[in-house]
Structure 1
């Protein structure tokens, strides 16, 4: 059965996933937005932009391991339940993220520092991949039908909220310790703060109950022996590959903001200091949260598919102008216009993420939902996760005359345009899911 009203159990489920997803983004943003600091700490001196790319590349390598986490914990979530799965993943994600604070520096152990950094990132990636496998279905299966779009946007907005919180925390630490202090030792304190949301999420999850939808799966004896493998069997594999194409474009959307807006703001011809760049970027993440919430709520009336198709066309048209506004205002030191551009990019790139929790939950049957949502979500990483290679290649070989020597604003705009095309095609090939029941019928197709 599906819940008919917004209950305390619904509130717990939504809070759990909001904070858990916040933690995932919090860790991501800490890596990407202080990449210049980590480059100095973990790598030998070289070109500042190249060092920053190396840090971003290291994160690309680690997110490639998210599908592994989704496969492991998604399969587990369909067999033992969503709640137990989520307790394991939040403990692992919180501890692995905080472990970054204990890493040695390049001065202490040489290149081994960067190798250990990558290994810790892999561990984070595995648990992060498991986090949304059971987390998104858990929140959606506790949500009444009329609230699905709004709650989906709220849950997904946790990612943008985590990015905003991380940017604020980093700017605060820079303000307290100064850039030199952060480079010398305070970067460790920044990563230790990841324990706070992990503790909150764990406390909420220990107080939760299993979802009524999964209890219904067990009652009807529909628990699958191999839910992950079943994704690639008829008639489900076409659904999976449609989701994979769609999610590839969505990851291009995401990293057009999270990976490259900080890089654009922190390198010439931008005249901003690191602290101002962090502040301007944080405005984009606030707007991203609002965009996801708005998009999710609106999809409950317009439809998931129709709204995404309209958005994809608008994104294709607006990508280059909005990034041009960002780099032009940053080069002129105009904080107001740069903030406006950052906020526009936040809404454009993160708005359509507002339907992901409910759209993916509606695309897969309850008995394979954790596997489908988790691995389907992560499947976009197979091609979309190598953004840190695509943009430098475009910067160095295709758009030298449009990008500036130390900035990738136009290449990032092209990445977003490619993402818009993939998102549009991916949604066009899939069905409208609005109105889909989350419970599974006894008869299995």
Structure 2
């Protein structure tokens, strides 16, 4: 009913893992540069006529708007990835993201161009969202489908590492530029530099991603002539419930990431408490490094324990427990406490992110896997991080109590934990089926 494992040689597997990590790091550098700059200056540069509070809310909302277009990117890239292959989609999404980011760096401000400036900003953010919606699925599948069966979690954590590393790179570049230029010069022109640097990284990522081989799973699907004609239709007809559950497993993690390293804590500490911007950015940079380490740990543990579910459970329980201490320590207004708070928060975030690529790849059948993992990831991002900073800002402003934000984060983690417990464990399931009956094939593999 099922095939023998389809993998690449160890050397090629490692090369693919490195390529997916580098490319994803560049993509998410672009994405996070926007999120953090939106928290710092976009309210003043593009939405100032609305007033301080409304401008900040709308600035955060532009982060969320891009998430609404992730499903469209997931649908398009998923269809093409299931029909034409994983590698070509990796290159295309990287080019789209890099172009959008570079163009943001040369946009006129509201003062220079009026209402056209925020409109162009939103359009380019939408393009970023479209690209992000298709990028992750391809990177995750290339890493996992090339990997040895017993190391899928570890190899699959490579593209996952690209997210915290992208955040680390983005926050580090922002910390350097804000410190180098000072608040006035950064607001005047310094904010553009991190966006323009994307051009250099785009060239590097393009060369690396073009050098890797196509997924062995997709090659075998071609040989079997068993590719789906309409992957999205087949996905929704047979596996819609799995798409929803997989999305929910990611929602809590995504909310946690965007609330902490994705801009909200930075905005809260600098706007509400008036703390030094560079100091808080340094804490975010440190937390991003911790996130990278715990992401690798999460992937490794999921192989070691022969269970993705167990790692998720530990991670989400830790997230629920730390939701309140996260802001209690920030409210002390001490840099060291913010660094400790965010670093501890990243332990739970990494554990629930490291196993995700292998976890998603194992629960979807090969014929519709790119569509399934991409759409689940995109929907999970909408349910989780899309408007998390906006919701948190509204909760904090309307209640005057930061604890309301902690409750929101704990509830999101609890929902994701419930979804993880519903989905059956599929560690080690063969990544390609000889039968169209995926349910039977998966059952046999278990």
Query: Scaled by the length of structure 1, what TM-score is found?
Result: 0.92
1:353-408 per-residue CA deviation (whole Å, 9 max, x = no partner) reads 111111111111111111011011111134322324422342244x32x23xxxxx
For residue 48 of structure 2, give the secondary structure of its aligned residue in structure 1: coil
Is 1:92–2:96 an aligned residue pair?
A: yes
2:346 — aligned with what?
346
How far residue 11 of structure 1 moved from its aligned partner, in angstroms, is 2.7
Which of 113, 119, 124 aligns to 1:120? It is 124
- Post-superposition shift, 1:48? 4.1
Contact 2:316 2:414 in 1 (8 A): yes
Confirm or deny: 8 A CA contact 2:298 2:355 kept in the other structure: yes
Q: Which residue of 223, 226, 230 corresponds with 2:230?
A: 226
Q: Which residue of 2 aligns with 1:423?
A: 416
Cα distance, 1:99 vs. partner?
A: 1.0
CA deviation digits over 1:108-139, x for unaligned, max 9?
11222111100110011111111112221111
Counting matched residue pairs gives: 430
Work out whether residues 222 and 442 of structure 1, in 8 Å CA contact, stay in contact via their aligned partners in 2: no
**Match 1:288 to one of 284, 291, 302:** 291
Choose which of 170, 175, 193 in structure 2 pairs with 1:171.
Answer: 175
Task: Render the CA deviation track for 1:263-293: whole Å, top value 9, x for unaligned.
Answer: 2222222x42111111111111111111111
- Runs of 4 or more, structure 1, over 3 Å off, are 45-50, 442-445
Deviation at 1:253, TM superposition (A): 2.3
1:48-85 residue CA offsets vs partner (Å, 9 max, x unmatched): 45433221111101121011001000110000001112
Determine whether 1:386 maps to 2:387.
Answer: yes
Alpha-carbon distance in structure 1 between the residues aligned to 2:372 and 2:220: 18
Q: Is the 8 A contact 2:325 2:341 kept in 1?
A: no
1:433 aligns with 2:437: no
Q: Give the secondary-structure state (helix, strand or coil) at the position aligned to 1:354.
A: coil
1:156 matched to 2:157: no
Distance (Å, rounded) in 1 between the aligned partners of 2:380 and 2:76: 17
Cα distance in 1 between the residues matched to 2:16 and 2:302: 21
CA distance in 1, matches of 2:95, 2:170: 19
Is the 1:288–1:349 Cα contact (8 Å) retained in structure 2? yes
What is the RMSD of the two structures over their aligned residues, measured on CA atoms? Answer: 1.8
Distance 1:10 1:49 in 2: 49
Equivalent residues of 2:27, 2:94 under 8 A apart: no
1:264–1:327 Cα contact (<8 Å) kept: no
The equivalent position to 2:205 in structure 1, one of 201, 212, 219, is 201
Corresponding position: 1:19 with 2:22: yes
Distance, in Å, in 2 between the alignment partners of 1:311 and 1:175 is: 34
Quick check: 1:260–1:412 contact (8 Å CA) kept in 2?
no
Whole-Å Cα distance in 2 between the matches of residues 138 and 4 of structure 1?
Answer: 11
CA distance in 2, matches of 1:379, 1:227: 17
Distance 1:138 1:67, change over 3 A: same
Match of 1:305 among 302, 309, 314: 309
Residue segments in structure 2 that go unaligned for 5+ positions in a row: 439-446
Residue 101 of structure 1 is matched in structure 2 by 105
Q: TM-score if structure 2 supplies the norm length?
A: 0.92
- Per the TM alignment, residue 158 of structure 1 is displaced from its structure 2 partner at its CA by 1.1
Q: How does 1:32-431 map to 2 (within 5 A)?
A: 32-35=35-38, 36-44=40-48, 47-234=51-238, 236-257=239-260, 258-269=262-273, 271-302=274-305, 303-328=307-332, 330=333, 334-384=334-384, 385-397=386-398, 399-400=399-400, 402-403=401-402, 410-431=403-424
